[in-house]
Structure 1
Amino acid sequence: MKKKLVVLTGAGMSQESGIRTFRDMGGLWEEYDVTEVATPEAWERNPELVMKFYNDRRKQLYESEPNKGHKGLVELEQDFDVQIITQNVDDLHERAGASKVLHLHGELKKVRSTRYPNLIYDLDGWELKFGDLCEKGYQLRPHIVWFGEMVPAMDEAVPLVEQADILVVVGTSLNVYPAAGLLHYIREDVPVFVVDPERPPVYMKGVTFIEEKAGEGVAQLKDKLKQLI
């Protein structure tokens, strides 16, 4: 039976695909402050701006491709039972061929009802418009977990981490909670590998740091994991 390899990925995972990261923009996405575009209050105050922001992100995603890091994680499925838990809202893991991906913060290519959050739809194309309604007649919004909202996928993520035989963290600053708190659910004997050019705050015994960007870092990771098969 293959060992369970759980991979927690963040914005640095998709950076080499041209997806601009919140961290690199100094807390700004282009000219936007996070409170203007990624909170429920922002949607109430200025839904036009929020919709434009996510339409622009979606259009950028359609122009992006999975990078060497995404593809390297898929190759690990040959030797491990790989479960990806991602903070990213892009679909680059899926497009690279990953079989099991859990999105903590929603999915950019999906939309949901403003009144009934369980009514979730694939968006046809990159543009969400006013007048796009759910089946019960309410406006659709981006299927994104905004700052200040609950993260329902955590209920699924915690058991996955608890069952991990190996944990890998790629491209996340571990500053966003509750996602960063997932590390607290690892069994003490589980090997942990952290891939990031800027060493994030992981204060656990036996952590192996690979201080590289995702593409090169995952390549080095694959060599290290061969010893654990």
Structure 2
Amino acid sequence: MFEIIKDQVQNIKKIVVVTGAGISQESGIPTFRGKDGLWRNHDAMKLATIDAFYDNPELVWTWYNERRANIFAAKPNPGHKAIAELEKYAQVSVLTQNIDGLHQKAGSTEVLELHGSIIKIKCSVCDYKEEITSEFSEIPPICKCGNILRPDVVWFGESLPQDVWQKAMILANQCDLMIIVGTSLVVSPANTLPIYAKQSHTTLIEINPEITEMSSEMDLVVRDTGANSLPELVSLFKQN
């Protein structure tokens, strides 16, 4: 399956893994765009924009609380675990669009959460931020400054945290191998990360059961899930 890099393995020192909702789907977390996606029964524009939040913060918070309960019950699958295991053989950086924390649960040590984290909150006005440790007694929760708290995630129309994005671009430019797993590559600016890597003549591997926007640009396309295929990639490193 990964024969294209068999002769390169010993020279691969820096790996960047770009992940999307597809890798977590096998852990029981629905994707947004698949046939059973999260948006199927909801209007995304009523749930994931700052305007929607101010229009109906109780609805948005209720939905995120339900998502959080689902995520907390989920466990890393063999795809997450394989990515963590790759750290035995190279420097591995995970650039994820997911907000579920499963890469960290699997043992990955360098995870850049491009779209934030569902277990973190921040004030909609002041600089207050923290992790959620328990359920809120009131919805929506209120900050000490008197304004509404919100999930610390990136909503449609919002910019990515600039410090995280700058580091992600640097890592994409400097890696020897980029593996893109379970992302449709339609969400900007995360979908530009393979372009940065390609400009540096990095080997690009896409793992996705479906064709994506950039499949034709890849050096290798694996039409399978991360849970099925990534353990085989780890085996290739073990052999060298």
The structure that is helix-richer by fraction is 2
Q: CA deviation at 1:126?
A: 5.0
> Number of paired residues?
227
Q: Which amino acid aligns with 1:138?
A: N
Aligned to 2:203: 191
Q: Which amino acid aligns with 1:64?
A: A
Aligned to 2:3: none
Q: CA deviation at 1:217?
A: 1.9
Aligned counterpart in structure 2 of residue 87 of structure 1, from 85, 97, 113: 97
Is the partner of 1:194 in helix, strand or coil?
strand
Q: CA deviation at 1:145?
A: 0.3
The answer to whether structure 1 residue 59 and structure 2 residue 69 are counterparts is yes
Distance of 2:113 and 2:25 partners within structure 1: 17
Q: CA deviation at 1:63?
A: 1.0
Aligned counterpart in structure 2 of residue 145 of structure 1, from 154, 179, 186: 154
Aligned to 2:181: 170
Aligned to 2:5: none
Further displaced range: 216-225 or 28-37: 216-225
Going from structure 1 to structure 2, the CA distance change for 1:176 and 1:26 (only over 3 Å counts) comes to: farther
Q: CA deviation at 1:189?
A: 2.2
Aligned counterpart in structure 2 of residue 70 of structure 1, from 76, 80, 85: 80
Further displaced range: 134-143 or 52-61: 134-143
* Contact residue 61 and residue 140 of structure 2 kept, 8 A: no
Q: RMSD of the alignment, in Å? A: 2.2
Is the partner of 2:205 in helix, strand or coil?
strand
Further displaced range: 205-214 or 164-173: 205-214
* Contact residue 199 and residue 209 of structure 1 kept, 8 A: no
Q: CA deviation at 1:28?
A: 4.9
In structure 2, stretches of 5+ residues that fail to align are 1-10
Aligned counterpart in structure 2 of residue 104 of structure 1, from 114, 124, 131: 114
Going from structure 1 to structure 2, the CA distance change for 1:137 and 1:17 (only over 3 Å counts) comes to: same
TM-score (norm 1): 0.91
Q: CA deviation at 1:219?
A: 1.9
Further displaced range: 107-116 or 121-130: 121-130
Q: 1:144-174 CA distances to partner (integer Å, 9 max, x unpaired)?
A: 1000001123222111111111111000000
Q: 1:7-59 CA distances to partner (integer Å, 9 max, x unpaired)?
A: 00000010000001101147653521110100011101111110011001001
Q: Please list every run of at least 4 consecutive aligned residues from structure 1 whose deviation after the TM superposition is greater than 6 angstroms.
A: none
TM-score (norm 2): 0.87
Going from structure 1 to structure 2, the CA distance change for 1:128 and 1:208 (only over 3 Å counts) comes to: farther
* Contact residue 51 and residue 128 of structure 1 kept, 8 A: no
* Contact residue 109 and residue 126 of structure 1 kept, 8 A: no
Identity of aligned residues (%): 38
The answer to whether structure 1 residue 11 and structure 2 residue 8 are counterparts is no
